[in-house]
Amino acid sequence: MPSLGVNIDHVATIRQARYREEPRNAEPDPVAAALAAEQAGARGITAHLREDRRHIQDADIRALREKISTKLNLEMGASEEILRIALEIVPDDVCLVPENRREVTTEGGLNCSDQLDELRPIVARLKDRGIRVSLFIDPGDEQIEAAADLQADFVELHTGAYAHATDPESELRRLMRAAQLAVDAGLRVNAGHGLNYQNTSAILALPGLEELNIGHSIISRAVTVGIAQAVREMRAIIEAK
């Protein structure tokens, strides 16, 4: 059964909307949200430390590393500055993602096949520190092959096209094929982006799927029912399969 990782970026987004310049008494606290998610059964916490620090801050990552009891999955772009922080903090996992300062959220997968020379030393440095490396990619043959060439531990399949498709069955077939190719290449498989309480169930059929990383939908639901209940409801969907 796949595990649930909860992305807490959107908790920090709410905080930063009010307290970007004045950190005193800042709320809500993404670390508190992470701890509540763990208590409700999340098996990991994901946070994206962006170069522009638009939501998660350096202090958040350090506090998460100290306080959570499951695992920390740090999303990051291919930046030397953020890489140095990752090598210092030593999260359990690092998921390398594309990063565009103009985007609202990550809009697509990392183009590994065109960035082999850039990514290879980054992957190697992370793995040398004992950090598992995941690559957030679109479901395509070239990207799977590149991830295997880079000796990543995981691919995280970008499910955004599936989540927003008018023909989700076609996109689901693409994801199924990509997951099987990844497994055949010796890669472990995670998935995420745009998943919610309506479309997650079908994704659970992906070959080799180990973890779903879900953020916006859970945090949105938490506004109504609280973080613990929102996590329990998503876990129920996963555990029903």
3-state secondary structure of 36: helix
Q: Known catalytic residue: 193?
A: yes
Across the strands, what pairs with 190?
A: 156, 211
Residue from 10, 55, 158, 193 carrying the catalytic annotation: 193
* Dihedrals phi, psi of 55, to nearest 5 degrees: -135, -80
Residue from 10, 38, 48, 171 carrying the catalytic annotation: 48
Q: Which one, of 43, 48, 4, 3, lies nearest residue 30 by Cα? A: 48
Residue from 38, 75, 99, 171 carrying the catalytic annotation: 75
Q: Known catalytic residue: 216?
A: no
Distance CA 32, CA 6 (A): 13
Distance CA 168, CA 174 (A): 10
Query: Which residue type does 73 have?
Result: N
3-state secondary structure of 73: strand
Distances in Å between the Cα of 7 and the Cα atoms of 80, 117, 133 are 23, 29, 17
Which active-site residues does the annotation give? 48, 75, 193
